[in-house]
Structure 1
């Protein structure tokens, strides 16, 4: 039985906010993070392109010994996960699994709202996919889901402007647009793994009665539950407490930005996928 790390994939840095919480809750496992920074952002790309890029990265992580991979990217989860699960995994040998970040959020978010009205803040690609309304309706058909695409938020974060006065304009603008869709929204999901870095700004413009949910803790709890329910997959995950980071772009740039998302210094290795 060949053991390997748990793979964590994102188009760039945002998935590190998920990995940070996963490591905090499940520190004993080994993790291999891959950021496809050379082709980021994925949020504005077509379904076909996101699927193609995501599958390349998934196959690379499998080739490095991962049996379980988390798509810690909302766009990849929305545009590529289902095709990979239904069309690609059945053709592969061995116990290989790919999980996303949208379903774990959908499974619990209906329990967080009293008014049964939820807001989703996401990239244009995630919002256009309709993945959040579709998944939430499966578990909580009585809950209303209101979405708002925030195309400027990822560039603000990736260009170190997330704490600048200029960020306030875009944060306030999109929150007002979202809340205008329903005055009863009492729970808002940060449907992009970059957005936790904007949480301080977001909370400044929200009523204290509105809950703001980040995905890191949700995904970490869901992964722990998944490993408990699937011992055959858990047995394939090595446990030496190691973390390795890969990027398809500049090591220096990745290490500089990644430490903000992960909360501690990161040392990376460059890889070429093509």
Structure 2
């Protein structure tokens, strides 16, 4: 497979199961404005949060492979579920065969690296999809770096649909926002830091802040992941040299282009051009 991939420098690939990764992409564009990006949303098969490990791995590998074929040498899984369920397997099992010089990175480790400097009580909560919570990826990553921190997870199965159906600011969202925050804090009342472990959740931030008690820090991923990517490229000049700089961003979706372009404007506050791409080809 290696010989079929383009060898010349290319854009940085950004993959998500839907729209949430656009919150990460917008920070990438802000912090690395000269870099080129390709965004791929697997909207036809979203959500990933409720799917099995095997299916998420299969779908994510298809997307990563396609981004490599489109010229990317570096792909960011801007999706917590894909980072939790597929990243390690792709890094260990697939990259050596596909091309050992290409890289796939996730969003979980960059998010937890700063946690020790934020929490005072050493009690941290994670709000995420059912898939991310079940994988225990956040717990494992935090304990690898900071074994003394207690991590408590809470699945929020209704939050992604609220965002995807543009109901994030509607009055009906309040019930589900408050419900999951209350359930998390009931499990551990010493939590002083909450990680939003899904890229959709920043769009619920106004309501989340309303129901999270004062004094609890809310950690959103976008800026942390973008700064981590900037640092990664500085530390890996050989990869930096394989990333083109034209300040462009190309968008692909596995769903209908018009639907994606319409919903993407909610996340990006700008209108975009998008092309359809089939991952089953």
On whether the aligned pair clears a TM of 0.5, the verdict is: yes
| 3-state SS of 1:207 partner | coil
**Cα shift at 1:73:** 0.1
Paired with 1:64 and 1:186, the residues of 2 have a C-alpha distance of 43
2:217 is the counterpart of 1:225:
no
User: Helix, strand or coil: the match of 2:172?
Assistant: helix
Question: What is the rounded CA distance, in whole Å, between the counterparts of 1:109 and 1:255 in structure 2?
Answer: 35
Number of the residue aligned with 2:3:
none
1:162: Cα distance to partner?
Answer: 0.7
3-state SS of paired residue (2:271) = coil
State the shift of 1:94 in Å: 5.6
Alpha-carbon shift at residue 92 of structure 1 (Å) = 2.1
Q: Which runs of 5+ in 2 are unaligned?
A: 1-6
**1:178 counterpart = 2:184:** yes
Q: What are the Cα deviations for residues 191-211 of structure 1, in whole angstroms up to 9, with x where unaligned?
A: 000000000000001122111
State the Cα deviation string for residues 235-274 of structure 1 (Å, max 9, x = none). Answer: 0000000001000000011001111112322211111112
Please name the residue that 1:269 is paired with: 275
Task: Confirm or deny that 1:37 pairs with 2:43.
Answer: yes
TM-superposed CA distance for 1:109, in Å, is 1.4
Q: Given the alignment of the two structures, is residue 192 of structure 1 paired with residue 181 of structure 2, yes or no?
A: no
Maintained 8 Å contact 1:30/1:241? yes
Q: Residues 1-274 of structure 1: matches in 2 within 5 Å? A: 2-93=8-99, 95-274=101-280
Aligned partners of 1:20 and 1:263 also within 8 Å? no
Contact 1:122–1:150 under 8 Å retained in 2: yes
How far apart in 1 are the matches of 2:268 and 2:180?
A: 26
Name stretches of at least 5 consecutive residues in structure 1 with no aligned partner. none
How many Å apart are 1:48 and its aligned residue? 0.2
1:28 Cα deviation from its structure 2 partner: 0.5
1:2-61 per-position Cα deviation (integer Å, ceiling 9, x unaligned) = 110000000000000000011101100000000000000000000000000000000000
Count, aligned residues: 274
**How well do the aligned residues superpose, as a CA RMSD in angstroms?**
0.8
How many Å separate the matches in 1 of 2:127 and 2:49? 13
Could you tell me how far apart the structure 1 residues matched to 2:166 and 2:123 are?
Answer: 32
TM-score by length of 2: 0.96
Equivalent-residue separation in structure 1 for 2:179 and 2:214 (angstroms): 18
Q: Secondary structure at the match of 1:244?
A: strand
Runs of 4+ displaced beyond 6 Å: none
